[in-house]
Structure 1
């Protein structure tokens, strides 16, 4: 079975809502465990350009905001639902995220 690691950044105000949405769609499953995630608080930096509609910050001004970096596993069969839930729940116009395809290393044992 193929897995992906979804990594994203989200403001604290929407942390639990976004995690709840992606967990409900099937993210964060590791064997007999559910709602598994790793998260850390940090500072994000961005500059909304003209034509943007920023959730936080002002157009054409550098902004630094406290955000959480969250990492979860997603089974390939849940990826479409999880990504749909992620984009629906995330408050940012252009959320920062990435996906990394991973494999279950136990297959090599």
Structure 2
């Protein structure tokens, strides 16, 4: 089992989550669509060669973003990350993948 964490602007939150749930992420036992999320503030500066979804070239952008965490079966993690990159609006998606230990 893996845990996937990613950051997404509010207007894209539900769309991205639904795409990942449809791919098989967020399933725990007899429950699906499971995740944890919290609102925070992201920051970035688009550099030369970038094509930002939000913000202006060479200007620091700060905006409200949601951090979302969900689990994913080993056999689906590559497909789920590919779907995240496909569905997410950002050119460079900020995400983390953790292998979970079982006890």
Q: Same fold (TM over 0.5)?
A: yes
- For residues 50 and 57 of structure 1, what CA distance do their matches in structure 2 show? 13
SS at match of 1:67: strand
CA contact under 8 A between 1:12 and 1:67: conserved in structure 2?
Answer: yes
CA shift at 1:81, angstroms?
1.9
- What stretches of structure 1 of length at least 5 have no aligned partner? none
SS at match of 2:13: helix
CA contact under 8 A between 1:26 and 1:81: conserved in structure 2?
Answer: no
Q: What is the number of residues matched between the two proteins?
A: 103
In structure 1, the residue matched to 2:3 is 5
- What stretches of structure 2 of length at least 5 have no aligned partner? none
CA shift at 1:62, angstroms?
0.4
Answer with 1 or 2: which has the greater Rg. Answer: 1
SS at match of 2:21: helix
CA shift at 1:73, angstroms?
0.3
- For residues 14 and 97 of structure 2, what CA distance do their matches in structure 1 show? 20
In structure 1, the residue matched to 2:45 is 47
CA shift at 1:80, angstroms?
2.1
Runs of 4+ in 1 over 3 A off after TM superposition: none
Matches within 5 A, 1:64-83: 64-83=62-81
Aligned-residue Cα RMSD (Å) equals 0.7
In structure 2, the residue matched to 1:33 is 31
- For residues 49 and 82 of structure 2, what CA distance do their matches in structure 1 show? 24
Q: TM-score, normalised on structure 1?
A: 0.92
CA shift at 1:104, angstroms?
2.3
